[in-house]
Every structure is written in C-alpha cells, then in structure tokens.
Structure 1
C-alpha cells in the first residue's frame, strides 16, 4: 500500500500541533481516526514517528526526517494542484491559435492583447496558413483554436460564426475609384490589378467575384502577401481587392476601401475548435474573447459585448 496525501497531511498536522486532538480538529476528523492513521503510517515506514506522553506528542528522530519528506511532497502537490486549478480557470497554460495571415496581422492582434492582459501566466503561440492549412492544424492537434473561413464540412468541429467579411476594392486615396461610394467588379478591369497568389483565401474571394461578374482583371503583378500588395499600391502600381478585415493593415487615409457590388461577395469567418477531445478552458475563453470582438474582425470598430 502506498501512502496517500491525506495520510501525509495527518502526520504534518500532528507534528505542527503536538496534539492528536488539535490535529483532529484542524482536519475535521475524529481523534481515533487520526490515531489510526498515524499507526498505519508508522507501520508502513517501519519506524515510530512520534513519542507519546500523557501531556504531549513529540517527533522522534525518524519523525523529524519523515516530516521533511512529507512536507516536500505536500508542498509540491499543493503547488501542482494550484497550477492545475489556474489552468482550469484559463489563467495559465500554452495555447496555440491558427489563423489566416490577414487576420493574424490585423484585428486579431487586438483580441490577443485583450486576452493576455489579465493572464500573465498564459503563453500564446500564433501560427498562420491558408484556410486549408489552418483546419489541418486543428484536425492534427497542432492547434487548439482556429480563426478562419467558415468550413463547408463541420464534422468533429465546434464552429462559432463570426459574421461576413465583404470584398472591397482597395485603391490609393487619390485614385478615381476612391471617390465613388461603391464600385462594380466591371469597373476594376480598366485598371492595373495586383492579385494575391492562388491558394489564398483572398485570391479565392477575388476569383469568385470576377467570375460572378463575368469579367477578368488586368493582372500586372501577383504577390503572396497582402502587405506586399499594399506596398505595391503605395507606389502606384495598381489596385486590388481585399476583404474588409484587412483595412487595419493599412495606414489611416493611405488607401480607400470601397464596397464592391454587382455582385456583392464576402467570406464568412468563424472561430473553430475540435469537438473531441473537449477544448480546454483556455481555448474556450479565447474563443469567447474572439466572439466578443467579432465586429472588429469583420472590419468594423471594436465592440466587445
């Protein structure tokens, strides 16, 4: 039989109070129960731990040594349980979040900042990838939470929609299209177009819009990152189409985001976690924080609720 934490606590309480009756009161046990526990422990270790007199109880030499061992075990156990309780409260631990690059570089920074502000013992690992890659990380267990497009197949996933992220024409502030209240996809074909690489969610959104409008852009440059496209536009190399959520990546007033119509195209965003095993408290709290900032993620002002 191995000794239990409860038995070690009894030995510690008797040693601290030098009294079986005081130890029983502090532990809310009967005095006979405390006496039996001490006898059981002494029999297990093969040594007398306490010298008993009619007036008091004193530790023997073996008892002093055993108490130091018991105290170390109890301290480590209590500290470990404290860490576990903090993990259950979402106050500590490691969380890996996978997100689309545009979201990770933009409004998601506000979410992470708000989440970590009151959790100094939490470590957050933020990784990025395409919509397909983000879901693969989730399914493989390499990520605890994903912020990405609403999946078409949700089996085995806990999906919370975040709302629409509409496509916008993005042009330099002095561009003629920037003076319009809204533009059509057809209006874009008369200008040099900066495209995102195939396989990205932004490129999929752009291709969907041009296809629905039955027009084709005059693509002059193709880049693999939104920040590169922004740099190209700042040098007058053309215009592009971004989801509204990318607006936070631009310098205020540098570029215009103009609503696109005929047709209006958008992507649906969602926060996703695996259904099994059940998400940790940390993952659940982070997901709740994302939901509270969903207006921000969709390109609007931050409106936690």
Structure 2
C-alpha cells in the first residue's frame, strides 16, 4: 500500500469529526479535497472506510480497524520527528568521546555536569587511551569526537584547535624550585625524577625537553599513568614534568606547576571529528562546551595560547 502521512491525517480527522465539512474546516482544506482524499485512501486499501448518510459519517467495521492502524502510524511518525528534532537541538542522543586520560580527568570532568544538566535525554560515553588509540577509535567510528593532541596521524580529520599545552615541572610546594617563575630542563637533573613510560605523549615531550641537556634525568620510578606519578610524588619519591592541562586534577593544592624553558616544549590540543559523515548537532554543541572550558582554564592560568 502506498499512502502518505497526510492522507492518514485526513482520514483520522474525518473519523474524529464524523463529518467531511468539519474535518475540512479543522484541516483548513476544502470539503471536495477531503472527499477526494478519502476516496483515494479507500481505493488503496480496497474497502469502504465510512458509511455516509445525509446527516452523519460513520466508520465501517473495516474503517474502525484501519483507524487503529492509521493512529499508530501517525503517533509513531510524530514521535520520531520529535526525537529527531530533539537530536537536532542537541537535547537527546548518545555521544561517545575518546580522550587522553589527563584531559578526560581534567578538562572533560569540569564540563560534563553542566553539559548534561539541561539535557536529561543525552547519554555521554567517555573512553580514554593514548593519542594513537584515541585517533584509531575515531577513525573506526567507535567515537564521535576525539580530544587529544594534534599529531601527524591527525591528517584528514576535522580539527578544532584548543591551544597549546606547555610542559611544566611539578614539585611539592616546599621544594627548592617551588618559588621559581620558570625552570630550565637542566635544572631538573639535580633531583630524583619520576618518569612516564615510553609510548605516552608525556614521555615523548619529556624526552624532547631533556634532549638539549645531553643527559638523562635521575629516574627513580617509571610509571605508565599520570595519577601513579602523582601518588609517587606524594610519597616524596621525586619530581616530574607534566603538561599544564594536568594541573586541573593532579592534586594541585599539594604541588606547584612551574613553566619549563630552554627549550619550551608543548603539545597542541584539539577536538577532532571524522571528515565524513558530518558531526551531529550534539557533537558540535559538545565541542563548543569544550572550547569554552578550555578558554576559561587558560584565563584562570593567565596563559594566552594560539
């Protein structure tokens, strides 16, 4: 059967009004147009749906059964359109975000509550991994949005920059370096150092910084997670170097983040989407929230990024 939703609406309106003229008035159509529509519907279904008298229009037994079908179709159609409209308005749907662990625990944690509060029908899935893992999930369609550093592997993706994330030395507040406005990488060689494992973006940045000193730090512990390094520092096992973005969750009240120089080492953070298909309205709205949070974090830190 080939019927349009408008034909079903006309049929339902006549059934509700028990009158062609009243239905036509309610639908803002002419009575002949309504009559022609009902004739077309009856032709398609192959039966009379109304018994007509000079005084009243009543549903036949077939018409009563067909009305239940038409009503269900109309209800589902309107409900589906409502869901789609809510989706387009970013008020419902599921969004999967892949992010570096430090960004998930810091930047994302700071915005999730405010983002979800006005969107009770939105479900947010957050998955973490290395920069490579995050991008792989995005390319495989396992994530809608990625929040990570920009790398050569980002080629071909849609990139919305968040700004620079400079490396800092992280020391206890009573450490000799704690009052310094900045520190050189070679200054760190005097102290026990907690190193992130090879393969992490923090390790890559740390190696880049120490490369100009032509010496290796005194690594007392090598860990594979930022929070493990924080725990080790809390036990007095040494100092470490983290990107500034880590400050939002790395027990900032206990440690001081001091910008590193000679050389200045940083990574560029961004929100990334697959080039195709285009991101959903929900993904775009979430990205706007991330950008706003990133700017606010920069403002509080007194940092201007690109």
- Please, what TM-score do these two structures have when normalized by structure 1? 0.94
Cα distance in 2 between the residues matched to 1:283 and 1:302: 28
Deviation of 1:47 (Å): 2.1
Residue 223 of structure 2 corresponds to residue 227 of structure 1: no
- Partner of residue 42, structure 1: 42
Cα distance in 1 between the residues matched to 2:249 and 2:40: 68
Distance 1:48 1:302, change over 3 A: farther
Deviation of 1:51 (Å): 1.5
Q: CA RMSD in A?
A: 1.8
Residue 20 of structure 2 corresponds to residue 13 of structure 1: no
Out of 191-200 and 33-42, give the one that drifted further: 33-42
Distance 1:296 1:127, change over 3 A: farther
- Partner of residue 169, structure 2: 169
Deviation of 1:81 (Å): 1.2
* Structure 1 unaligned residues grouped into runs of 5+: none
Cα distance in 2 between the residues matched to 1:280 and 1:226: 32
Cα distance in 1 between the residues matched to 2:300 and 2:224: 25
Cα distance in 1 between the residues matched to 2:286 and 2:123: 12
Cα distance in 1 between the residues matched to 2:49 and 2:224: 72
Deviations 1:89-147 (A, max 9, x none): 11111111010000001121112222212111011110111111111111111111111
Query: Conserved in 1, the CA contact under 8 Å of 2:191 and 2:218?
Result: yes
* Structure 2 unaligned residues grouped into runs of 5+: none
Residue 275 of structure 2 corresponds to residue 275 of structure 1: yes
Query: 1:19-168 maps to which residues of 2 (within 5 A)?
Result: 19-152=19-152, 154-168=154-168
Deviation of 1:297 (Å): 5.5
Cα distance in 2 between the residues matched to 1:56 and 1:151: 74
- Please, what TM-score do these two structures have when normalized by structure 2? 0.94
Distance 1:140 1:82, change over 3 A: same
Cα distance in 2 between the residues matched to 1:136 and 1:202: 19
- Partner of residue 188, structure 2: 188
